[in-house]
Structure 1
Amino acid sequence: MIESHTMRRRASLSLPIIRTARGQNRDGSLTLGGLLKALGETSFGWAIVLFSLVTLLPLPPGSSLITALPLLLTTGQMALGYPSVRLPGRLSRLKIDEPGLRRTVLRLSPITRRLERILDTRYESVFLDRQPQALGIVLSAISFALFLPVPLTGWFPAISLFVFGVGLLERDGLVAGIGLCLGMMSILLTAVMISSLAAAAETLVD
């Protein structure tokens, strides 16, 4: 029983994304909107997980100004009480690099394996009907920290959003809470880095 439970959890984290992306890539139709729709477009969890993975792709510095936009949109819609994610046409048609996405998923396997071992349906009060808007506000703040092109800080909010998204998908309030805590720490780190850069700039000007 334990082994089958673990295998089911493992499939829910990485295999659907890899398999769906591979299939759509063969058809030449791998887009952000198409992948999200195939995974379950009404789920904010899949959207947050997928957009976090896109943000973690090996991209040039400053790319978070673009890759964080879907997360800002998703978490903003969550904060406004939308029942599902609604992507504008241009963003929905955005092409995804399938090999890069697969490498990113595999690179995160140490994190996902640890999550798979502890995932369970618990503390579902975190996801009550009145909660998503409050969660959306916090997640929007984390997404904004990711959006800011501050050196050495981008990975932390992206990973925290990924962890939260997994918790939301699996209805695991504990894992979602860990993601939120990591996100708050990433906001604090971003604020410290901005203050340090501002102080250094002021010193140079003086």
Structure 2
Amino acid sequence: MLQCHVKDLSMQRHHGARRRPSLSLPILRTSRSQHRNGSLTLGNLLSALGERSFGWAIVVFSLITLLPLPPGSTLITALPLLVTTCQMALGYPHVRLPGPLVRLKLDPDKLRRAVLGLRPITRRLERVLAPRYLPMFARRNERLLGVVLFVVAFALFLPVPLSGWFPAISLFVFGVGHVERDGLVAMLGLALGMTSVLLTVVIVVSLAAGAEALIH
């Protein structure tokens, strides 16, 4: 009898772990509900998710940069990430969006495609996410994190061919780690971000060298 009871508890824990809420569901459900009400704006979406959190802001803004938009659109879509990471670096206690960004209307279909396009990544993250390395998110570390993330966001902002998606995904991974208070996943996002910065530098230098060779 005792063995059966232990076995049942083990199975419940196992199935409970498997039923971990999807990272995509809060965004999909909130955006769908607000779209039906005609209130789907960037400010309203963040308010519903947790506007005060830098993590949710970075997750949502990185998703926006991955929307199916014309080349060069990161000059506009990366601006919220630059604002957010700059505020983080300056020691703001929470995100403060300018009015135009708060009122920015979102396309629910494009947002849904961006979220679903990242499902291969979010599924893997969902399997390993757990609160750990919590000192990383201490208030004293936020400014340094903000500086690093601002550099990554700036790499995303630059209209460099073939490099935009990499900084966006690295910021998304960091944002997920921040929301879930998983320092290991956040560090993975930072590592990917610095790799993306290096890739951007290499591409820019290569393009500059090619342009100089054509001129001469």
TM-score w.r.t. length of structure 1: 0.97
Tell me, in whole angstroms, the C-alpha distance in 2 between the residues paired with 1:199 and 1:7.
Answer: 52
Displacement after TM superposition at 1:125 (Å): 1.4
Partner of 1:57 in structure 2?
Answer: 67
Within 5 Å, which residues of 2 pair with 1:29-178? Answer: 29-178=39-188
- Give % identity: 68
Displacement after TM superposition at 1:136 (Å): 0.2
Q: Number of residue pairs matched? A: 204
Work out which of the two has the higher radius of gyration on C-alpha atoms and give 1 or 2. Answer: 2
Tell me, in whole angstroms, the C-alpha distance in 2 between the residues paired with 1:44 and 1:7.
Answer: 26
The residue type equivalent to 2:14 in the other structure is I
Displacement after TM superposition at 1:2 (Å): 3.1
Displacement after TM superposition at 1:91 (Å): 1.0
1:8 lines up with 2:26 in the alignment? no
Tell me, in whole angstroms, the C-alpha distance in 2 between the residues paired with 1:178 and 1:186.
Answer: 12
Task: Judge conservation of contact 1:6–1:116 (CA < 8 Å) in 2.
Answer: no
Tell me, in whole angstroms, the C-alpha distance in 1 between the residues paired with 2:144 and 2:17.
Answer: 31
Displacement after TM superposition at 1:9 (Å): 4.2
Match of 1:130, SS?
Answer: helix
Task: Judge conservation of contact 2:173–2:188 (CA < 8 Å) in 1.
Answer: yes
Per-residue CA distance 1:58-115 (angstroms, 9 max, x = gap): 1000000000000000000000111110111111101100011011111100000000
Match of 2:95, SS?
Answer: coil
TM-score w.r.t. length of structure 2: 0.93
Tell me, in whole angstroms, the C-alpha distance in 2 between the residues paired with 1:34 and 1:184.
Answer: 31
Task: Judge conservation of contact 2:167–2:196 (CA < 8 Å) in 1.
Answer: yes
Partner of 2:195 in structure 1?
Answer: 185
- Where structure 1 has 5 or more consecutive residues not aligned to the other structure, the ranges are none
The residue type equivalent to 2:50 in the other structure is G
